[in-house]
Structure 1
Amino acid sequence: MVIGKNIEKKFGDLKVLKGIDLNIEKGEIVTILGASGAGKTTLLQILGSLDKPSNGEVLINGTNISSLKGNQLARFRNQHIGFVFQFHQLLPEFTALENCMIPGLIAGKSEKDAGNRALKLLNYLGLSDRLEHKPAQLSGGEKQRVAVARALVNDPLVVFADEPSGNLDSKNQDELMDLFVDLRKQFNQTFIIVTHDRHLAEKADRMINIVDGVIVDE
């Protein structure tokens, strides 16, 4: 499903990633664990098409995303990749339902179809009574669940999560990881999660440890 081949990333003379090879299967929940500066977020951004490798390539479901450019890359990202970020990145002027609909509308779905899909996901995630609330009216855990619903609205091939529990208390951290497991069971969804939290990482199917830009064990 997601294959990385000899991924390297340089910033000037600094080599952040030093030849990463990995293969993540459909329906897997994989965590990428590492200390600050280890290169885990850089790797996630490259795997998720937000950045280009200095060397190597990334394939998602057989498509070499490293060779895609401009609108072609943006279209692939919108249709096949979901993102969950530490700070949610919800638009403050829109409701939970509207925030969740946005990727569907960008993909060209009708307002009705995007709304029905968003409504189904938000209901599934226990937010049926928060649909018309704006982000400022939601708790941290609720905002994160809206972000998860938004990531899933286009039924992506893979969801990338960058420190998704970083702003949550321990109870909400556990609930978020349990949610990822439930979503995998329900939708056979693939999740790749960057974290520095070993407790969270160990709940995944597989844990990849990165130290100084290289995988040291799985």
Structure 2
Amino acid sequence: MIQTEQIFKSFGPLTVLKGIDLSIKPGEIVSIVGPSGAGKTTLLQIIGTLDSPDSGKLTINGVETSKLKEKELAAFRNRNIGFVFQFHQLLPEFTALENVMIPALIGKVKAGDAEKKAKEMLDFLKLSDRMTHKPAELSGGEKQRVAVARALINHPSVILADEPSGSLDSHNKEELHQLFFELRKEFNQTFVIVTHDEQLAANTDRVIHLIDGVIQH
């Protein structure tokens, strides 16, 4: 489903990724681990089409992303990729429900249909009673579950998570980790997770060790 071939990326004189070959199957939960500065987030951003490699090829669901024009790529990303970040990145002026609806509305889903889908997602994540609350009124765990609901709203092929439990306490961290596996069971959802959390990494289907821009086999 996701295939990278010889991905290289540099920032000035520093080469961050050095020929990354990676294949991820549908329904897999894969963790990417390694020391700070190893290139983990850069690789995740390239897989998420938020950044472009200097050379190499990225294919998602049979589509070579470099061949898409800017607007086509944005639409492809909106349909196929969901994102969960360490600090949730919710818009503070909007309610939980409105935050979850945003990717669907960007994807030209009618407002009524987007609201229905968002409510279903929030209900599935046990947040029905928090829909009208703004982020400042939610706990850390609730904010991150809203972010997961937002990532899921368009039923993407893959969810990319960058240190998703990094800002959570141990209880909420455990709940979030369990949620990923529930979503795989329910939706056959694919996850690629950058993490420093050894417990989360140990529970994933596969751990990819990235050191100095190279996958260690």
Q: Does 1:77 align with 2:77?
A: yes
- Give SS of 2:130's match: coil
CA distance in 2, matches of 1:43, 1:118: 29
Is 2:167 aligned against 1:157? no
1:148 match: 148
Distance 1:64 1:34 in 2: 27
1:213 Cα deviation after fit: 0.4
CA positional deviation for 1:67: 2.5
2: CA distance, partners of 1:198 / 1:55: 31
Ranges of 4+ aligned residues in structure 1 off by more than 4 Å: none
State the alpha-carbon separation in 2 of the partners of residues 69 and 43 from structure 1.
Answer: 21
Aligned to 2:89: 89
Q: 1:19-69: CA deviations, max 9, x gaps?
A: 110100000000001111000000000011000001101100000112223
Alpha-carbon separation, structure 1, partners of 2:210 and 2:187:
29
Q: C-alpha displacement at 1:79, in angstroms?
A: 1.0
The sequence identity of aligned pairs, in percent, is 64
> Please, what is the CA RMSD of the aligned residues?
0.7
Unaligned runs of 5+ in 1: none
Partner of 1:24: 24
Task: Give the match for residue 43 of structure 1.
Answer: 43
User: Cα deviations across residues 133-184 of structure 1 (Å, max 9, x unaligned)?
Assistant: 0000000000000000000000101110011011001111111111000000
CA distance in 1, matches of 2:122, 2:19: 39
Q: Does 1:115 align with 2:115?
A: yes
Number of residue equivalences:
217
2:169 aligned with 1:169, yes or no?
A: yes
**Which residue identity lines up with residue 44 of structure 1 in the other structure?**
L
TM normalised by structure 1 equals 0.98
Q: Which runs of 5+ in 2 are unaligned?
A: none
The TM-score with structure 2 as length reference comes to: 0.98
Could you say which residue in structure 1 is the equivalent of 2:134?
134
For residue 182 of structure 2, what is the aligned residue in structure 1? 182
Distance between the aligned counterparts of 1:128 and 1:100, measured in 2?
A: 12
- Report the Cα distance in structure 2 between the residues aligned to 1:58 and 1:198, rounded to whole angstroms: 28
Measure the CA separation in 2 of the matches of 1:160 and 1:67: 21
